């Protein structure tokens, strides 16, 4: 399945919640959800009855779109989480959070996961001092993510780093705005992962 390239605000409206796909715009009154909180299309205002399957499907789609993954990537991460000991839902979210593109976004070095993915692919970041251009790479506690020396004058990265210095990051991460770097302090627990979904419904969708 190819990656969605249409207007991302349409995805938020389809799921009925903010997925924060447009960066800073999502925090302003220009957000599409603030303007029109209804499903897209001519029948978007109709009330429909959702089945149990439909409810689980919507949660799965919501989480997949929140992290910007295609179906095959998403399913592979779920299979990996299902093979891990512990609660599958929590392990699933933790694996999603530990992706390099998500960590770059959570540190504030990118305004959205889509931008983070693009910046990583272009080779602007180092992990533990080595260039890593794989957005799906899963980081571990103690890993340090930094902007390459050659990339520190890139306007987008400079602007992102300046904004990031004044923003709070999740408790499992720490940011050094001046050095344009961050560190994974510890692996995230469920209470530290802010996602607008019920992960148990996603687990039930795949376990059906």
| Annotated domain spans of the chain | 9-96, 99-184
**Tally of CB atoms within 10 A around 145:** 24
Determine what percent of the chain is predicted with pLDDT higher than 70: 77
CA 176 vs CA 9, 111, 146, 169: distances in Å: 31, 17, 9, 11
Tokens (6 digits) for 86: 């512990």
Report whether 125 contacts 146 (CB < 8 A). Answer: yes
pTM reported for the whole predicted model: 0.81
Pairwise CA distance, residues 1 & 6, whole Å: 14
- Using the CB atoms, write b or e for 79-93: b if 16+ within 10 Å: eebeeeeeebbbbbb
pLDDT tens-place string over residues 18-66: 666 656 555 566 565 555 665 665 545 566 777 999 999 999 999 999 9
pLDDT tens-place string over residues 121-173: 999 999 999 999 999 999 999 999 999 999 999 999 998 888 877 788 999 99
Which residues pair with residue 181 across a beta bridge? 146, 176
Q: Which CATH number is 9-96 given? A: 1.10.1050.10
CA 144 vs CA 100, 132, 190: distances in Å: 11, 12, 22
pLDDT tens-place string over residues 162-188: 887 778 899 999 999 888 999 999 999
Q: Give the strand pairing for 144-147 and 181-184.
A: antiparallel
The enclosing H or E element of 130 equals: strand 130-131
pLDDT at 197: 92
- Considering the domain delimited by 99-184, tell me its CATH architecture: Roll (3.10)
């Amino acid at each position: 399945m190819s990656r969605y390239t249409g207007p991302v605000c349409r995805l938020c409206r389809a799921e009925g919640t903010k997925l924060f796909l447009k960066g800073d715009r999502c925090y302003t009154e220009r957000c599409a959800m603030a303007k029109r909180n209804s499903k897209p299309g001519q029948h978007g205002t109709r009330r429909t009855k959702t089945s149990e399957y439909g409810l689980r499907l919507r949660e799965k789609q919501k989480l997949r779109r929140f992290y910007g993954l295609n179906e095959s990537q998403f399913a592979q991460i779920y299979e990996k989480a299902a093979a891990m000991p512990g609660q599958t839902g929590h392990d699933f979210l933790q694996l999603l959070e530990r992706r390099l593109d998500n960590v770059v976004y959570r540190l504030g070095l990118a305004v959205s996961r889509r931008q983070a993915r693009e910046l990583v692919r272009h080779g602007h970041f180092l992990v533990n001092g080595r260039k890593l251009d794989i957005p799906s790479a899963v980081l571990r506690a103690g890993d340090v993510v930094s902007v390459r020396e050659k990339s520190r004058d890139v306007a987008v990265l400079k602007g992102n780093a300046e904004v990031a210095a004044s923003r709070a990051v999740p408790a499992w991460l720490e940011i050094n705005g001046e050095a344009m770097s961050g560190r994974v302090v510890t692996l995230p627990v469920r209470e530290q992962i802010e996602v607008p979904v019920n992960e148990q419904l996603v687990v039930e969708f795949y376990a059906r």
